[in-house]
Amino acid sequence: MATYTYEDIPIDNNTIKYLFNANGNKLSYAEFIELLRLGDENFLDTFKKALNEATNKLFAYVWECPPIHKEMTNKPFEFVVTKSMALRHIKQDYSSFKEQIIESNNKDVCSFLSLGKDATLIVPIPCHNLDYKNISNFTKNASKEQQIKFWQEVADKLVECLEFGTSKWLSTSGLGVHYLHIRIDSKPKYYVWKEYLQFKLEKNN
């Protein structure tokens, strides 16, 4: 069984970068995606621990990954979290996604195109009396089963989107619709971490 660990690198008081290791080696984007698709509980426990640590330090945050292209998936996986007081104080409201949630045949997660058709959104199905207003609350409150299914859907949709051969940005914002939704975007529409806005896409070695 692989041993997974993470590194947390404070950038400033409001921003932390996270990287992951598998048996002491940097975890690639391809490996990250595959572990999510497999629902690997060992890795997901480590991933969840990192997200919860970020919550303990920042309370609420936007979650952003560097842009990814199918020809650069062997690069190390990382993400940055940036503190957001606005996300901490919003109230859960999934009414904008109500139609898609009701029509879903899946009890844990649904996915669909954004109104502008330029992004795929992955949304957890609401659970009675649980607050999923942002990624912090979802990670703290959702069952392990729902979190596994949710991240599996994220990985599956990311693989589908990458097949088109264009770069994709994986992130959360949540300042528009006050309910967790992972975005797979064709551009960094709501990104706040400047390094990823200027990120150079390099093919696998």
Interval 108-125 mean pLDDT = 96
> Is the pLDDT score of 202 beyond 60?
no
Interval 131-159 mean pLDDT = 98
Half-sphere exposure of 43 (CA within 13 A, CB side): 20
Q: What percent of the chain has pLDDT over 90?
A: 92
What is the average pLDDT score of the chain? 95
Q: What is the largest CA-CA distance in the chain?
A: 48
Q: Please tell me what DSSP assigns to residue 176.
A: S
Interval 3-31 mean pLDDT = 98
CA 205 – CA 94 distance, rounded (Å): 42
Helix H or strand E encompassing 81: strand 78-83
- pTM of this prediction? 0.95
Interval 30-55 mean pLDDT = 98
Q: Which two tokens stand for residue 5?
A: 């660990």
Question: Of 37, 21, 69, nearest to 170 (Cα)?
Answer: 69
